[in-house]
Each structure stands twice: as C-alpha cells, then as structure tokens.
Amino acid sequence: MGLLTIEDTGGIPFRAYNAALTYNSAGIEIIEVLPGNAPYDNPMANATVDNPGGQTTFNQDVGAGNTVLPPQTVARLALRLIGPATTQYQLDIDIENVYDAGMGDLGNGYNSATYLRGDIQGDGDVDVFDRLYGQYYLNEVDGFAINDISIVNMASIRHDGIGGDIPSAVDLMYISKYRAGMTDDYYNDW
Ligand SMILES: [Ca+2]
C-alpha cells in the first residue's frame, strides 16, 4: 500500500488533479486504486489500470467551490511485486496536473519509488537481515514500525489473493527457503 499525497502547491488550494503511474509490468502490478482522504475519496471513478501496458491513470475533481490546501492524500495504491528477488523495479509517480479553484493548472510533480521483492530492510538485496527486520516488525520489537521497513517488499513475497497482500510470518519463512535454495527467484517452491 502506498499513499499518494499532493505535498505543495505554493500555498494554493486545489480542486482537481491528474495522476499517472508508469512501471515495468514484469515487476509491479497495481491491484487497485483506493480512496485518499475526503473530499479526495473517489480516484477510482476515473481510474484506468493497464498492468500489461505498465500504466495506471486516475484523477478527481471535487467540484466548484470545493478546494483543499496541501498536503492532501488523494489516493492509496494497492500494489504488489511480481518480479524476482534479484531485480529492482521502479514505480514512477507523475502528478501531471493540479488545478486551482478556477481550473488553472498549477503544474506538476514527479516522484518515484524503487522496490525489490523480499528486501524488507531496504538495502538492495535479500538476505538474513530481511527476515530479521520482518520479525522485528511482526513482534513490534522496540517500537519497530511500518516506516522502518519496506512493507511492500515484505508483503509481496508470497501473494495472498485478490484482497491484496498482508505481511506475515509466511513471507518471512519464504525468505529462508529462498536463501536455502528451496524456491526459485520468485519464491515459488521448486
Ligand atoms: Ca535486504
């Protein structure tokens, strides 16, 4: 799950935006575009999820007279990693337009996130420390929090079905199995 937040418009309230995600579909799959915070709670009405094409677009206009001052979360992204443990994939997030009360375009913003399936620690590889960090998180050791790990890298190790992926002890077990050569690079049992 990733938050999509419009951070700054130079102090100008906005009423609408367009966003585009681009990604390599060998490694990243958008499951669903989910609501941001009200009134930006319906990005899915105009969402087009084209995973084979590696592009997802969505937008929302909250209507005349309805503006919000950033920072404002406008969507949440349910995504999963489908690539191997050996390849990093980048999600490019482009807020193409942000419109003020009079529908004047305030310009765009650009952001990216890099993922590696299984790299819970977030240092670019999959090793024993990733399992350790995952255990700290599941056991809430010393206040270990979601911000201390890559939750997408963790939850995507084993897929949990259409409801989206949940980080669990099963994901951690498959790090060990992968490291021991008991799975392929996609965490599938041989
Ligand atoms: Ca790692």
Around ion ligand 1, residues with a beta carbon closer than 5 Å are 119, 121, 123, 125, 130
- Asked if residue 104 is part of any domain, the answer here is yes
User: What is the pTM assigned to this prediction?
Assistant: 0.91
CB-count exposure of residue 32 (10 Å: 0-12, 13-18, 19+):
middle
Q: Is the pLDDT of residue 108 over 90?
A: no
Q: Residue 25 belongs to what domain range?
A: 2-115
Task: Answer yes or no: do 47 and 106 share one domain.
Answer: yes
Upstream peptide bond of 39 is cis (omega within 30 degrees of 0): yes
For position 79, what pLDDT does the model report?
93
CA distance 34 to 41: 8
The pLDDT value recorded for residue 1 is 64
CATH number, position 8: 2.60.40.680
Q: Which of 115, 145, 166 is at the close of a domain?
A: 115
Of the residues 69, 94, 115, the one at which a domain ends: 115
**How many Å lie between the centroid of ligand 1 and the Cα of residue 120?**
6
Same domain, 57 and 144: no
Of 2-6, 15-19, 112-116, which gets the smallest average pLDDT?
Answer: 2-6
Measured in angstroms, how far is the CA atom of residue 143 from the centroid of ligand 1?
Answer: 20
Is residue 92 situated within a structural domain? yes
Answer with the residue of higher pLDDT: 141 or 128: 128
Residues 96 and 140 in one domain: no
